[in-house]
DNA sequence: TTGTATGCGTTATCAT
DNA sequence: ATGATAACGCATACAA
């Protein structure tokens, strides 16, 4: 059922129908009445494709998720970020379209849809170095916001949204060090930028006191890896009295291992994590951790994209402040 | 950059460009070469709106989420279901578009986009009785699959995908009863259909032995509510030797409360949950629970929608089998 | 093998 | 205040 059908049903022309559709004024009361009745009767709904084609606007923003979906469900921050994105977009009457990339086929298909203009802008989570999606965003200069530093990305027109992991982790360790003298860190061997920055922050906080022996590494961000690393740490340095886990899961694992070895937390050893994920609140004692302003990050990304869509010049980077959540584990 | 631009750049006509674009054959080698070069040079990408308009197909399926996003992130099943949806759609070269409904504005905006034909079909999670989205799906007979029974929905053309909660919970309780004689249930006062069915299954399993005193209710699906309910249960019936939590979080809370009162699990009391969520594996001892075939449910929904899009008659209901996961808590 | 014309359902512009 | 007409970018059928 098209505009023409409505016009026929109302005994007028497409022009008038269009006018009442977008409330343009200049329609006689009786024409409006007839048309509104016809719209109701025919159940007319405007065609998105036709409108998008002529308007060159979709009123939609694509959010591209690359995280394996399972992980995305484990980490509650992502959900909160999406909530922020969605409500900021909604405020501007834009639709959030979530596209998930889970295989290499997905990459090319998503690139096709995004390149084809399925949305007016794009928000990406942790993109890889350079793939078809990034390429199409660059070539067509599609308004984009990206979570992370994007140092390796070559998207000059995009806005990068992130928090200062280095500063936050430094602040956290400094606070932990207030009444501890041998604070260890369980970091990750993975190359993720934020992981490196968290370690850098730890190192900065320790300054002269930095001690290689107090650093352990894990390959994955799991509680069991954290526990294993803590075991090694305890063996090498039984005098350790503080532990900073690169993520909450690691800290939770370490906490368990400490308790299994009879250390009291926080009395004997203080434990802190990062991310304020579900883990943090569930451990016993609950974990002190760093909370990123997830909702605000989502909103910031959305607003950056909306601004770019509106033609305003995009800011290169949006740096948001994290917050230390002090609980009983330290 | 349009087809015309490519044609100009290659010195041919739109027709030929179109032919190489979709590999239609009947193009001279040299023309093809020139056109392919021109495509590369101009960075041509076909316009989705234009193609959708003429093809009357978007090659996309919208997945509509109504869950409050926070919850959606807690329940790991949803992520797995989405994974199943996505890969089934991908196999048919369709794009999954996730739309989140988080406010009443979202409802009308989503209805507008879906009604406008942003996707060829729709998959819905736990829709409410009747809103603009449901209405537009009904009026336009948009191919749809819905999770749940949809008893109150009036969507005659849709396919409903679900598991038999009653049968599964009955099987679970029967198994628990094999060596226990006073099995309680902590159920929910919420009206959700699946919640009712789980209780019905419990009741069926108990038959003659059903005892009102062994039933407790909670208002929310949280561990702390589960713990509180367990306290009440212990007070009223200290002889309880089995507990069935309507969801894992409740069971986990109950387990904690039991241990706090010195009951050994599973020795003194057996505890079982439902959903096989993250909770189940993390408790100590790990929870016996019911696992729904999440991935398969997603795939089934996707395939139902794809079939409907292809014009095949839709089946009314797809009933999948759940599975009991027996761990150490009972 | 290639080029051209027509239509998809809108919106926007221009006469009337 | 209203009706007709021209894009938007593509696919399809048809003419050359």
For A85-141, what is each residue's pLDDT tens digit? 999 999 999 999 999 999 999 999 999 999 999 999 999 987 777 899 999 999 999
Cβ neighbours of residue A158 under 8 Å, at least 6 residues apart?
A: A137, A144, A145, A146, A150, A314
Q: Looking at the C1' of nucleotide C8, which residue has the nearest alpha carbon?
A: B54
The predicted pLDDT at position B152 comes to 83
- In the structure, how far is the CA atom of residue A15 from the C1' atom of nucleotide C15, in angstroms? 13
Task: Using an 8 Å CB-CB cutoff, list chain B residues near A139.
Answer: 43
**Nearest residue on chain B to A111, judged by CA atoms?**
B45
Q: Distance (Å) from the C-alpha of residue B174 to the closest C-alpha of chain A?
A: 31
Lowest average pLDDT, out of A33-37, A186-190, B108-112, goes to A186-190
Q: What is the mean pLDDT of chain B?
A: 93
Question: pLDDT class for A38, splitting at 50, 70, 90?
Answer: very high
240-299 of B, contacting A, C-beta below 8 A: 278, 282
CB contact under 8 A, B72 and A79: yes
Question: Could you tell me where the beta strands, DSSP code E, fall in chain B?
Answer: 60-65, 95-100, 121-125, 144-147, 159-163, 183-188, 215-218, 242-245, 270-272, 289-291, 317-320, 323-325
The predicted pLDDT at position A74 comes to 53
User: Tokens 């290499």 — which residue?
Assistant: A104
Provide mean pLDDT across the span B245-260.
Answer: 95
Question: Could you tell me where the beta strands, DSSP code E, fall in A40-196?
Answer: 60-65, 95-100, 121-125, 144-147, 159-163, 183-188
The predicted pLDDT at position A263 comes to 97
The answer to whether residue A319 scores a pLDDT higher than 60 is: yes
Q: Distance (Å) from the C-alpha of residue A183 to the closest C-alpha of chain B?
A: 28
pLDDT in tens, A167-217: 999 999 999 999 999 999 999 887 778 899 999 999 999 999 999 999 999
Question: pLDDT class for A75, splitting at 50, 70, 90?
Answer: low
Q: Among residues of chain A, what percentage have pLDDT more than 90? A: 83
> What would the two tokens of residue A56 be?
């060159």
Check whether residue A50 has its CB closer than 7 Å to nucleic acid strand C: yes
CB contact under 8 A, B102 and A79: no
CB contact under 8 A, B73 and A78: yes
Task: Using an 8 Å CB-CB cutoff, list chain A residues near B115.
Answer: 45
The answer to whether residue A220 scores a pLDDT higher than 60 is: yes
pLDDT in tens, B282-296: 888 999 999 999 999
Question: pLDDT class for B210, splitting at 50, 70, 90?
Answer: very high
Check whether residue A15 has its CB closer than 7 Å to nucleic acid strand D: yes
pLDDT in tens, B27-80: 999 999 999 999 999 999 999 999 999 999 999 999 999 866 555 545 668 888
pLDDT in tens, B296-306: 999 999 999 99
Q: Distance (Å) from the C-alpha of residue B213 to the closest C-alpha of chain A?
A: 31
Residues B4 and B7: their CA atoms lie apart, in Å, by: 5
Q: Among chain B residues 14 through 73, which have CB within 7 angstroms of nucleic chain C?
A: 14-16, 19, 26-28, 30-32, 50, 53-54, 56
CB contact under 8 A, A45 and B115: yes
Higher pLDDT, B146 or B277: B146
The predicted pLDDT at position A76 comes to 62
The reported pTM is 0.92
A52 touching B (Cβ < 8 Å): yes
> What would the two tokens of residue A269 be?
């050893």
Higher pLDDT, A222 or B122: B122
Phi and psi at residue B181, to the nearest 5°:
-120, -15
Q: Looking at the C1' of nucleotide C7, which residue has the nearest alpha carbon?
A: B54
- In the structure, how far is the CA atom of residue A317 from the C1' atom of nucleotide C5, in angstroms? 50
Lowest average pLDDT, out of A143-147, B20-24, B47-51, B199-203, goes to B20-24
Q: DSSP states of A201-222 as a string?
A: HHHHHHGGG--GGGEEEESS--
Task: Using an 8 Å CB-CB cutoff, list chain B residues near A118.
Answer: 48, 60, 95
Verify cis geometry, omega within 30 degrees of 0, for the bond prior to A266.
Answer: yes
The predicted pLDDT at position A68 comes to 63
Nearest nucleotide from residue B30 CA, by C1' atom = C1
Q: What is the mean pLDDT of chain A?
A: 93
The answer to whether residue A161 scores a pLDDT higher than 70 is: yes
Residues B273 and B209: their CA atoms lie apart, in Å, by: 21
B135 touching A (Cβ < 8 Å): no
Q: Distance (Å) from the C-alpha of residue B53 to the closest C-alpha of chain A?
A: 5
> What would the two tokens of residue A76 be?
């509650």
Q: Among chain B residues 7 through 46, which have CB within 7 angstroms of nucleic chain D?
A: 14-15, 18, 21-22, 44, 46
Contact B258, B241 (CB under 8 A): no
Q: Looking at the C1' of nucleotide D5, which residue has the nearest alpha carbon?
A: A15
Phi and psi at residue B148, to the nearest 5°:
120, 180
The answer to whether residue B151 scores a pLDDT higher than 90 is: no
> Quick check: helix, strand or coil at residue B296?
helix
183-222 of A, contacting B, C-beta below 8 A: none
The predicted pLDDT at position A107 comes to 96
Check whether residue A21 has its CB closer than 7 Å to nucleic acid strand D: no
Start-to-end C-alpha separation, chain A:
65
Q: Distance (Å) from the C-alpha of residue A31 to the closest C-alpha of chain B?
A: 24
User: Tokens 């060090």 — which residue?
Assistant: A177
The predicted pLDDT at position B69 comes to 55
Phi and psi at residue B218, to the nearest 5°:
-130, 160
B136 touching A (Cβ < 8 Å): yes
Residue A98's nearest CA partner among B288, B176, B85 is B85
Check whether residue A14 has its CB closer than 7 Å to nucleic acid strand D: yes
Question: pLDDT class for A71, splitting at 50, 70, 90?
Answer: low
CB contact under 8 A, A47 and B116: yes
């Amino acid at each position: 059922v098209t505009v023409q059908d409505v016009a026929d049903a109302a005994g007028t022309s497409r022009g008038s129908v269009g006018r009442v559709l977008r409330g343009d004024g200049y329609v006689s009361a009786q024409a409006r009445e007839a048309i509104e009745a016809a719209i109701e009767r025919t159940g007319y709904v405007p065609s998105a494709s036709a409108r998008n084609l002529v308007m060159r606007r979709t009123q939609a923003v694509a959010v591209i998720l690359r995280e394996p979906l399972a992980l995305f469900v484990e980490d509650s921050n992502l959900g909160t970020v999406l909530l922020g994105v969605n409500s900021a977009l909604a405020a501007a009457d834009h639709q959030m379209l979530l596209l998930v990339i889970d295989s290499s086929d997905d990459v090319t298909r998503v690139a096709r849809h995004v390149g084809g203009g399925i949305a007016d802008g794009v928000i990406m989570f942790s993109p890889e170095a350079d793939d078809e999606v990034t390429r199409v965003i660059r070539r067509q200069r599609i308004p984009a916001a990206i979570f992370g530093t994007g140092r390796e990305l070559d998207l000059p027109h995009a806005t990068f949204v992130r928090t200062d992991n280095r500063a936050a982790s430094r602040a956290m360790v400094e606070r932990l060090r207030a009444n501890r003298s041998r604070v260890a860190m369980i970091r990750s061997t993975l190359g993720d930028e934020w992981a490196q920055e968290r370690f850098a922050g730890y190192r900065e906080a320790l300054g002269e006191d930095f001690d290689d022996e107090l650093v352990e590494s894990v390959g994955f961000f799991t509680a069991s890896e954290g526990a294993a690393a803590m075991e090694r740490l305890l063996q090498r340095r039984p005098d350790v009295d503080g532990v900073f886990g690169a993520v909450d899961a690691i800290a939770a694992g370490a906490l368990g291992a400490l308790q299994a070895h009879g250390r009291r937390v926080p009395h004997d050893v203080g434990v802190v994590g990062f991310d304020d994920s579900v883990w943090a609140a569930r451990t016993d004692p609950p974990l002190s951790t760093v909370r990123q302003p997830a909702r605000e990050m989502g909103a910031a990304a959305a607003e950056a994209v909306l601004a770019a869509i509106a033609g305003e010049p995009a800011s290169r980077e949006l740096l948001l402040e994290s917050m230390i959540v002090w609980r009983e584990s330290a």
